[in-house]
């Protein structure tokens, strides 16, 4: 049976969160000399001399409406990479606990595990990039606290079958983290719709992909109120800066434009995934539910270098087990996609 108390690190359960100046005083006042800020102003712009809201109240309220989730079930991080790191710190005792991931997948799960001195167990996805569920369950140990599932998966682009994720959630007593960085490009419901059913589910999303805000660093974790309270307890107090909070609030008012951008990217993805296999250099384009394509080519390293010479940078994934001979190509503008197509068609 899953019990949050059983998996959270004892020091995290015991510790008290940092109490900031903005936490200790609530109400109205005219003189704020409680946070050692520069009251003369900021050279960067109005308001930036003040610390930002540590709880991102306005931003969470807007996200809650858009996602149909209570603000108490939302954690905001300095990118979803921060949420990944905090999950390790929340439940994995360094040098004792372990996590399980499913390569080929996003590399930061492994980096965060190594940084936090957490043992890394890996179960390779099947040749069609799905989860071999029974093998995963066989590899779960008493010390396994986290399983990372990336859906749609990076770098393969596909959604993971929901039945596999359900089986993990039903049979694993640690946290199942479903990383949905690319969900806005997929024709599938988010796992946030299943949070009420699964107390051990954590869903990650980000503003870096469909929302086009990679430079602002804003990621989201959705989970039970209890898990979110633990994120809040262990996060750095001012982890989302004022400029990001302001700009994200503006962006959140433009959901219609967001839908247009997603539509255009998905259309271009479909166009490229039909067109690329007609080229001599291309062996296979894998189905994608994301904003990139995994493309198996005849000579990955040579094509990669040739594209660089043409001023086109793709991601060479050919050294990853399961992605031999593959390049990962993000969907660009219509013009960029045409340039890329033309360049590959000229490759000899
Ligand atoms: C699957 C996946 N998760 C998370 C991230 C990181 O997102 P963020 O920019 O929010 O840190 C990426 C970025 O490429 C990703 O591919």
Q: How many domains does the chain have?
A: 2
**Test site for ligand 1: of 76, 81, 103, most ligand atoms within 8 A of the Cβ:** 81
Residues 205 and 319 in one domain: no
CA of 181 from ligand 1 middle (Å) equals 6
Residues 243 and 326 in one domain: no
Nearest CA to ligand 1 atom 13: 181
DSSP character at residue 101: E
User: Would you state the pLDDT for residue 8?
Assistant: 98
Compute the average pLDDT of residues 235-252. Answer: 97
What CATH number is associated with residue 249? 3.40.640.10
Same domain, 31 and 153: yes
Give residue-wise pLDDT tens across range 332-345. Answer: 999 999 999 999 99
- Secondary structure of 256-305 in HEC code, one letter for each residue: HHHHHHHHHHHHHHHHHHHHHHHCCCEEEECCCCCCEEEEEECCHHHHHH
Q: What are the pocket residues of ligand 1 if the criterion is a CB atom closer than 6 Å to any ligand atom?
A: 79-81, 106, 150, 154, 179, 181, 206, 208, 214, 219
pLDDT reported for residue 27: 85
Distance in angstroms (rounded) separating the CA atoms of residues 225 and 247: 26
The overall average pLDDT reported for the chain is 97
The predicted pLDDT at position 218 comes to: 98
Percent of the chain with pLDDT over 90: 97
Candidate of 101, 111, 208, 212 to mutate for ligand 1, largest count of ligand atoms within 8 Å of Cβ: 208
Give the bridge partners for 201, in sequence order.
176
Checking if the pLDDT of 26 tops 90, the result is no
Parallel/antiparallel/unpaired status of strands 175-179 and 326-330:
unpaired
Asked if residue 346 has pLDDT above 90, the reply is yes
CA of 178 to the centre of ligand 1 (A): 12
The answer, yes or no, to whether residue 22 has pLDDT greater than 90, is no
Whether residue 71 is found in the same domain as residue 182: yes
Q: Is the CB of residue 106 less than 8 Å from the CB of residue 154?
A: yes
Pairing of strands 201-206, 282-285: unpaired
Residue nearest to atom 3 of ligand 1 (CA): 181
Separation between Cα atoms, residue 329 and residue 323, nearest integer Å: 13
166 and 38 in one domain?
Answer: yes
Do residue 43 and residue 182 come from a single domain?
yes
Could you write out the DSSP letters of every residue in 67-92? Answer: HT--GGGEEEESSHHHHHHHHHHHHP
Q: 253, 280, 308: which is the final residue of a domain? A: 253
- 268 and 291 fall within a common domain: yes
Tokens 């190509």 locate to 329
Given a cut of 90, whether residue 285 has pLDDT beyond it is: yes
CATH of the domain at 290: 3.90.1150.10
Q: Which domain holds residue 167?
A: 4-253
Per-residue model confidence (pLDDT) at position 37: 96
């Amino acid at each position: 049976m899953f019990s949050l108390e059983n998996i959270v690190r004892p020091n995290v359960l015991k510790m008290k969160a940092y109490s900031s100046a903005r936490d200790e005083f609530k109400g109205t006042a005219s003189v704020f000399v409680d946070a050692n800020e520069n009251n003369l102003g900021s050279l960067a712009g109005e308001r930036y001399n003040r610390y930002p809201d540590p709880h991102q109240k306005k931003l969470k309220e807007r996200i809650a409406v858009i996602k149909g989730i209570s603000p108490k079930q939302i954690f905001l991080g300095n990118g979803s990479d921060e949420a990944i790191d905090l999950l390790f710190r929340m439940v994995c005792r360094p040098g004792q606990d372990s996590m399980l991931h499913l390569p080929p997948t996003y590399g930061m799960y492994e980096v965060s595990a190594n940084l936090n001195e957490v043992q890394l167990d890996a179960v390779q996805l099947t040749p069609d990039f799905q989860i071999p569920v029974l093998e995963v369950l066989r590899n779960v140990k008493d010390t396994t606290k986290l399983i990372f599932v990336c859906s749609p998966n990076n770098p393969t682009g596909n959604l993971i079958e929901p039945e596999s994720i359900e089986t993990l959630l039903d049979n694993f007593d640690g946290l199942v983290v479903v990383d949905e960085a690319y969900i806005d490009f997929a024709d599938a419901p988010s796992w946030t719709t299943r949070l009420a059913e699964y107390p051990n589910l954590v869903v990650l999303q980000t503003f870096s992909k469909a929302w086009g805000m990679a430079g602002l660093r804003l990621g989201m974790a959705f989970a039970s109120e209890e898990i979110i309270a633990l994120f809040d307890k262990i996060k750095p107090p001012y982890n989302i800066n004022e400029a990001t909070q302001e700009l994200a609030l503006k962006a959140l008012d433009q959901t219609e434009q967001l839908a247009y951008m997603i539509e255009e990217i998905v259309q271009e993805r479909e166009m490229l995934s039909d067109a690329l296999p007609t080229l001599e250099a291309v062996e296979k384009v894998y189905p994608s539910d994301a904003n990139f394509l995994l493309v198996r080519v005849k000579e990955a390293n040579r094509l990669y270098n040739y594209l660089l010479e043409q001023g086109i940078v793709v991601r060479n994934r050919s050294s990853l087990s399961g992605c031999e001979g593959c390049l990962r190509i993000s969907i660009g503008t219509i013009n960029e996609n045409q340039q890329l197509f033309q360049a590959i068609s000229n490759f000899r």
